[in-house]
Structure 1
């Protein structure tokens, strides 16, 4: 995911160009009992594009499980689940109208059984009806499904054989009708990023439809969250070399009803996450509907375990312009096929 940035910083260190401030954080003594400090940030802009800024927090901890959070999912109306590049998780309580609180930290795989090949967890998807969670791992193009009772199944994604090396399933989301959208990390140029639309559970028997997703020039998808009508909010990122690297992120609204085999899928920008909003490597996104028809949009940043980066959580409010329902429907054979 961000290995190019990490490699760049290492090169600077070897060349003697980077002061100690930019060094990768030294490995702390292993500790799993440390809590998470949550600090509310001030001086925020009122809006970013179409979205109101309701809050921003910096999360800090010396817990060995903390950091590198690149995936985010809303598992119920008041809890966020974040997952990291080390296949760890963090639960965040986000009750409506109240302050947030970061709680449980731990291994995404039970008992700390870490398969090194399944460590770079990039995205999460959640089924609110069954409680199932799907996680995607970078480079291996592998999906892991976890049932509510803890049963697990892991398999390589079909249709990813031609995806770029060191890419992978950077964004995965379950649509309300049971289909899944999976997008690779790639700036993609004019062609866009490789992507797949599955008729049901990607670990089931349905064959995916291949297409490409394209956002603004130079931006790469890092996460996605579904709205109740099936449309997606896709978070995208670009960065430029520097000490430290400079990140610019944005959120695109896209309608899966417009996906066609072999074609390029696009959307429109609804928010740009850049100064005066605190800037960092925003990767994870989740959505919670509100009673008034608007949405709370949560966004989390991946600190890459670097001193100069932070773990930030944003709370945005978005009132959509229209209530057009996504037109696409799953095929009759696509009702949550599980292997």
Structure 2
């Protein structure tokens, strides 16, 4: 799959398109891929908004097969408890943020595999300190990332005088730590980080038109991201071939450069697609002062 009508300077100022794939399966449980991470063995790990893990095996950098396993959740029969959205890997733990019942769970996948049960990390509910209003049921922690200092950052899917990034506190609550300046109507849908840079996915959906997608980079230190120093990595419009991109993941290539992965949530709808795109970034792009 190729991107159409791309202006490399305007649309890919910090990236080079490496490949795109439409993922599909006859298994009705496959779909809704909302969070993405890269495992230590190079495979992609995704989560679905119906509460499942999906491992996507790569062969020569190309998706080759996938395996799906339901998450071990405390109330697996409750749909509002299964809406997994954000994913971050920390050592052998998979950290997953959920909407509707706003919380973060940890799964010891490295030790227990598909049998891992979700252990509570935080249950912050709809109240996030620093927001002007309570979180909507479907407007919670779409993105999740770990800072160099070990803190958990939440990318909230709401526009509240900017795009809020929150941080979990030791008490298990959440508080807005910074905001990306307003950029029109987009909301945050995904986060991932290297040791020095936080990457954020922004989505702006226009009914009858489609999805506009932007990826931003900003410096990241132990104290958190410098949201005032953002740099555009890429921008995709419906004419380029977009869908509902929500998951983002970063990995190192053999030459030390970065590969950025984006995955689209098809919402289990036949009118949408599960797309997986790959971009090469070279070195960590540093935002302009």
Smaller-chain TM-score bracket: 0.7 to 0.9
The within-5 A match list for 1:254-293 is: 254-257=218-221, 265=228, 267-274=230-237, 277-293=240-256
The within-5 A match list for 1:60-79 is: 60-79=24-43
State the TM-score, normalizing by the size of structure 1.
0.71
State the TM-score, normalizing by the size of structure 2.
0.82
- Establish whether residue 193 from structure 1 lines up as the match of residue 163 from structure 2: yes
* Cα distance in 2 for residues equivalent to 1:232 and 1:264: 9
> Which runs of 5 or more residues in structure 1 are unaligned?
1-40, 325-339
Shift of the 174–43 alpha-carbon distance from structure 1 to 2, 3 Å rule, reads closer
Shift of the 260–284 alpha-carbon distance from structure 1 to 2, 3 Å rule, reads closer
**Contact preservation (8 Å) 1:181, 1:196:** yes
**Contact preservation (8 Å) 1:143, 1:156:** yes
* Cα distance in 2 for residues equivalent to 1:208 and 1:224: 16
Higher strand content, 1 or 2:
2
Radius of gyration: which is bigger? 1
Q: What's the CA shift for 1:106?
A: 2.2
Match of 1:134 among 95, 99, 102: 95
Q: What's the CA shift for 1:205?
A: 4.4
The within-5 A match list for 1:1-339 is: 41-42=1-2, 45=6, 47=8, 48-95=12-59, 97-109=60-72, 113-127=76-90, 129=91, 131-147=92-108, 148=110, 149=112, 150-154=116-120, 155-157=122-124, 160=128, 162-166=133-137, 167-188=139-160, 191-198=161-168, 204-205=170-171, 210-215=176-181, 216-229=183-196, 231-242=197-208, 245-257=209-221, 265=228, 267-274=230-237, 277-320=240-283
Query: Per the alignment, in what secondary structure is the counterpart of residue 159 of structure 2?
Result: coil
Structure 1 runs (4+) deviating above 6 angstroms are 258-261
What is the aligned length? 271
Shift of the 79–310 alpha-carbon distance from structure 1 to 2, 3 Å rule, reads same
> Which runs of 5 or more residues in structure 2 are unaligned?
none
